[in-house]
């Protein structure tokens, strides 16, 4: 359980990190919170020859808000969202989800951007970024920066659109309007484990109806995705038990559940239905309640 030998780099700036990354490409890995990378290295599943520890990079911990977007820098940790990183519904949503990311020790170290780069199917942040229409800002020493839409970013399990010489320098999430609501539910076999199915729904409360509905599922397929059919069913309709049941059945029918040792497709489909139904129910709670701990 000791990592294979590697060279260790501790750049002070993003540019410096990018240079090292450009020099070593596939041979190198960025080290952020280390909560996915270090276990993979000690099990010798990952054996990068160069480790680029970005934890000494300055000004990479606090989020900023500009242009109607929350901008998440590379060293913002899971725990930093717990107290509401931004005012309003988006802050509540992120706080809610942060309580579901693993256990406290992992939350204290693991980063938001690291989770996005890691692209686990069951990552709460990956689902949130897809549902909320986030943009991932990637940068390389040679080609400069580019923005990638969340929907195009996740390719398959643990695989993203990032090139070998690119670093994720920021994730931008559009703020939510003041009357937005969200509902999130995940099914986990035990506290701190990766979820077996999860659903996130966000919509605007428009008189009695739901509008601008976005609904996505995670941990069910290789990458999180929105379910347009479900969104169409919900849009411009008042919430009701019947509608929620109809939507959760529809989503369960639409997905192609993964088959792994944690859940067979039949069970996972059942869990998907439950996650969607419960996420929808939770969206009706007072916003403060939805930020309560699991």
Ligand X SMILES: Cc1cc2nc3c(=O)[nH]c(=O)nc-3n(C[C@H](O)[C@H](O)[C@H](O)COP(=O)(O)OP(=O)(O)OC[C@H]3O[C@@H](n4cnc5c(N)ncnc54)[C@H](O)[C@@H]3O)c2cc1C
Q: List interacting residues with another protein (CB under 8 A).
A: 1-2, 4-5, 43-44, 103, 187, 189-194, 261-264, 266-267, 270-271, 273-274, 277
102-110, 142-150, 229-237, 265-273 -> range binding ligand X (CB under 6 A): 102-110
Q: What are phi and psi of 214, to 5 degrees?
A: -125, 125
Q: How many CB atoms lie within 10 A of CB 241?
A: 10
Give the residue among 218, 190, 213 at the shortest CA–CA distance from 276.
Answer: 218
Q: Ramachandran region of residue 44, left (φ > 0), alpha (ψ -120 to 50) or beta? A: left
Which of helix, strand or coil describes residue 69? strand
Closest approach, Cβ 134 to another protein, in A, equals 27
| x/- track of binding to ligand X for residues 168-187 (CB under 6 A) | x-------------------
Residue 36's binding partner out of ligand X, another protein, none, with CB under 5 to 8 Å set by partner kind:
ligand X
Residues 12 to 31 in contact with ligand X, rule: CB under 6 A: 29-31
Among 61-69, 111-119, 251-259, 277-285, which window interacts with ligand X (CB under 6 A)? 111-119
For another protein, the closer CB: 133 or 262:
262
Sign of CA dihedral 12, 150, 274, 202: positive
CA dihedral 279, 121, 172, 205 (to 10 degrees): -10
118's enclosing H/E stretch is helix 112-118
The residue (of 148 and 168) whose beta carbon lies closer to ligand X is: 168
Question: Interacting stretch for ligand X, rule CB under 6 A, among 80-88, 99-107, 128-136, 236-244?
Answer: 99-107
Q: Which of 96, 124, 135, 165 binds ligand X (CB under 6 A)?
A: 124
Q: Which residue is closest to ligand X by CB?
A: 110
Q: Select the residue interacting with ligand X from 74, 89, 183, 257 (CB under 6 A).
A: 74
Is residue 93 within 8 A of residue 176, CB to CB? The reply is: yes
Q: Determine the angle formed by the axes of helices 265-282 and 241-254, rounding to 10 degrees.
A: 150
- Residue 46 burial class via C-beta count within 10 angstroms: exposed 0-12, middle 13-18, buried 19 and up: middle
State which residue, 5 or 191, has the beta carbon closest to ligand X: 191
| Pairing, β 28-31 against β 7-9 | unpaired
Handedness of CA 253, 257, 262, 266 (dihedral sign): positive
Closest approach of Cβ 247 to ligand X, in Å? 25
- Of 9 and 247, nearer to ligand X (C-beta) is 9
Q: Is 111 in the site for ligand X (CB under 6 A)?
A: yes
User: Which of ligand X, another protein, none sits in contact with 108, Cβ below 5 to 8 A by type?
Assistant: none
Instruction: Give the closest residue to 163 by CA, choosing from 5, 28, 13.
Output: 28
Candidate residues 25, 39, 145, 189; the one interacting with ligand X per rule CB under 6 A: 39
224 contacts ligand X (rule: CB under 6 A): no
**Given the rule CB under 6 A, which residues bind ligand X?**
29-37, 39, 74, 101-102, 106, 110-111, 113-115, 117-118, 120, 122-125, 162, 167-168, 192, 194
């Amino acid at each position: 359980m000791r990592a294979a030998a590697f060279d260790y780099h501790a750049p002070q700036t993003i540019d410096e990190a990018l240079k090292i990354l450009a020099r070593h490409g596939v041979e190198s890995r960025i080290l952020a919170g280390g909560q996915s990378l270090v276990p993979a290295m000690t099990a010798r599943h990952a054996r990068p020859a160069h480790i680029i520890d970005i934890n000494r990079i300055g000004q990479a911990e606090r989020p900023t808000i500009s242009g109607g977007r929350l901008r998440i820098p590379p060293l913002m940790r899971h725990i930093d969202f717990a107290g509401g990183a931004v005012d309003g519904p988006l802050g509540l949503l992120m706080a809610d989800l942060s309580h579901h990311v693993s256990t406290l020790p992992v939350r204290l170290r693991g980063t938001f951007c690291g989770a996005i780069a890691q692209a686990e199917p069951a990552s709460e942040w990956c689902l949130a970024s897809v549902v909320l229409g986030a943009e991932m800002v990637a940068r390389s020493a040679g080609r400069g920066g580019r923005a990638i839409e969340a929907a195009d970013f996740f390719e398959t399990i643990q695989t993203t659109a990032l090139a070998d010489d690119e670093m994720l320098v920021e994730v931008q999430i559009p703020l939510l309007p003041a009357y937005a609501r969200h509902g999130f539910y995940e099914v986990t076999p035990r506290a701190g484990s990766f979820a077996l199915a999860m659903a996130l729904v966000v919509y605007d409360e428009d008189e009695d109806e739901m509008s601008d509905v976005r609904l996505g599922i995670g941990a069910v397929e290789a990458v999180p995705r929105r379910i347009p059919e479900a969104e169409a069913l919900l849009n411009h309709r008042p919430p009701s038990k019947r509608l929620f049941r109809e939507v959760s059945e529809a989503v369960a029918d639409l997905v192609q559940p993964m088959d792994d040792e944690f859940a067979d497709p039949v069970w996972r489909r059942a869990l998907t239905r439950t996650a969607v139904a419960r996420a929808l129910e939770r969206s009706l709670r007072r916003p403060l309640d939805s930020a309560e701990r699991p």
